[in-house]
């Protein structure tokens, strides 16, 4: 069963159970998928769907500090619930230890020596960890390794 089919079934389930938050999150993801498919005139595979979901997680995580600054703990709680729902559709996230190993291997592969090679390392590394790790975390780990 493809990820789009899983989303469709989960949407039906959420509607039956009257789970408004889950229904809204899945509807937003499906709308994002549909928009990309119409814009690019192509059908997204599971990899493309994972990108849409990961983008949704990133957008929600980025909005949390604003809600905290605005003293809106109710919105922070809702956003965290939405993130939890979306994370259920993403592949198992890499641990920091696994990420450190992948970063070390990639730095060795591309022969990076200094911070000037950051772009080279990131462009080689991101396809390996796409959907499995947060880009900001990956970037900070690469920076730590290159500063040694």
Q: What CATH number is attached to the domain comprising 55?
A: 1.10.1510.10
- Are residues 100 and 79 both part of a single domain? no
The pLDDT value recorded for residue 31 is 96
The pLDDT value recorded for residue 87 is 93
3-state percent breakdown (helix, strand, coil) of the chain, nearest 5: 80, 0, 20
The pLDDT value recorded for residue 68 is 93
- Are residues 20 and 77 both part of a single domain? yes
- Are residues 104 and 75 both part of a single domain? no
* Of residues 65, 71, 63, 57, the one with CA closest to residue 28: 57
The pLDDT value recorded for residue 30 is 96
Q: Which domain holds residue 59?
A: 3-87
- Are residues 42 and 63 both part of a single domain? yes
Total domains, the chain: 2
Query: pLDDT in tens for each of the 148 residues of the chain?
Result: 899 999 999 999 999 999 999 999 999 999 999 999 999 999 999 889 998 998 999 999 999 999 999 999 999 999 999 999 999 999 888 888 999 999 999 999 988 888 898 899 999 999 888 878 888 889 999 999 888 7
- Are residues 19 and 60 both part of a single domain? yes
* Of residues 133, 144, 138, the one with CA closest to residue 123: 138
- Are residues 115 and 65 both part of a single domain? no
Pick from 87, 104, 133: which residue ends a domain? 87
Q: CATH code at 125?
A: 1.10.10.410
Task: Give the whole-angstrom CA distance, residue 55 versus residue 52.
Answer: 5
- pTM score: 0.81
- Are residues 10 and 81 both part of a single domain? yes
The pLDDT value recorded for residue 112 is 85
- Are residues 14 and 39 both part of a single domain? yes
Element (H, E) at 142: helix 135-146
Q: Are 121 and 142 in contact (CB under 8 A)?
A: yes
* Of residues 38, 63, 33, the one with CA closest to residue 51: 33
- Are residues 100 and 83 both part of a single domain? no
39-55: b (≥16 Cβ within 10 Å) or e: eeeeebeeebbbbbbbe
């Amino acid at each position: 069963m493809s990820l789009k089919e899983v989303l469709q079934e989960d949407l039906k389930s959420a509607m039956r159970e009257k789970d408004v938050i889950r229904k809204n999150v899945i509807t937003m993801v499906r709308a994002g998928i549909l928009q990309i498919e119409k814009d690019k005139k192509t059908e997204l595979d599971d990899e493309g769907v994972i990108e849409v979901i990961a983008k949704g997680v990133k957008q929600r995580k980025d909005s949390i500090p604003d809600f905290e600054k605005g003293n809106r703990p109710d919105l922070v709680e809702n956003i965290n619930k939405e993130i939890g729902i979306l994370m259920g559709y993403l592949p198992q996230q890499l641990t920091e230890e696994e990420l450190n190993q992948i970063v070390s291997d990639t730095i060795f592969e591309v022969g990076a020596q200094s911070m000037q090679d950051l772009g080279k390392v990131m462009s080689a590394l991101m396809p390996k960890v796409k959907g499995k790790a947060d880009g900001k975390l990956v970037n900070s780990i690469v920076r730590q390794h290159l500063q040694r």
